């Protein structure tokens, strides 16, 4: 471990009134929990994309209501753009899911380094 990281971890442990080893262990236990939460968010995003697609197909094929109701078309476009932004954000979080499950030490180090900067 980098001496700078070890120093910061020991300072944090000292402030919390615990040992560095305990704090590191807590971070390692938190990695899969954090990965599971982010995976759940990704799955919810996938469901939202599917639901929005189904609503769109219903409006176009069955009712053809975009022609009759342009406000509904605007709402669908806004929802699609917002959901597209969420999909991009979730795609960027995919690395945390993989590291949280398969490489918790890297996840913990990355978490500490991100708090430094």
**Domain boundaries defined on the chain:** 3-116
What is d(CA 75, CA 65) in angstroms, rounded to the nearest whole number? Answer: 12
What is d(CA 37, CA 27) in angstroms, rounded to the nearest whole number? Answer: 15
**Is a pLDDT exceeding 70 seen at residue 62?**
no
**Is a pLDDT exceeding 90 seen at residue 48?**
yes
The CB density around residue 107, as the number of other CB atoms within 10 Å, is 24
Across 56-74, average pLDDT: 78
Global pTM reads 0.77
Q: How much is the pLDDT for 70?
A: 82
In this prediction, residue 14 has a pLDDT band, given cuts at 50, 70 and 90, of confident
What burial letters (b/e) apply to 32-59, b meaning 16+ CB within 10 Å? bebbeebbeebeebeeeeeeeeeeeeeb
**Is a pLDDT exceeding 70 seen at residue 99?**
yes
């Amino acid at each position: 471990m980098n001496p700078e990281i070890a120093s910061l971890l020991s300072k944090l442990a000292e402030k919390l009134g615990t040992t560095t080893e305990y704090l590191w262990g807590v971070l390692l236990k938190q990695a899969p929990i954090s990965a599971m939460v982010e995976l759940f968010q990704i799955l919810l995003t996938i469901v939202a994309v599917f639901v929005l697609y189904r609503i769109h197909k219903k409006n176009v094929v069955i009712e053809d209501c975009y022609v009759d109701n342009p406000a509904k078309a605007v709402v669908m476009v806004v929802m699609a753009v917002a959901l597209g932004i969420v999909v991009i954000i979730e795609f960027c979080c995919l690395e945390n899911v993989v590291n949280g499950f398969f490489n918790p030490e890297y996840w913990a180090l990355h978490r500490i380094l991100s708090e430094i900067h």
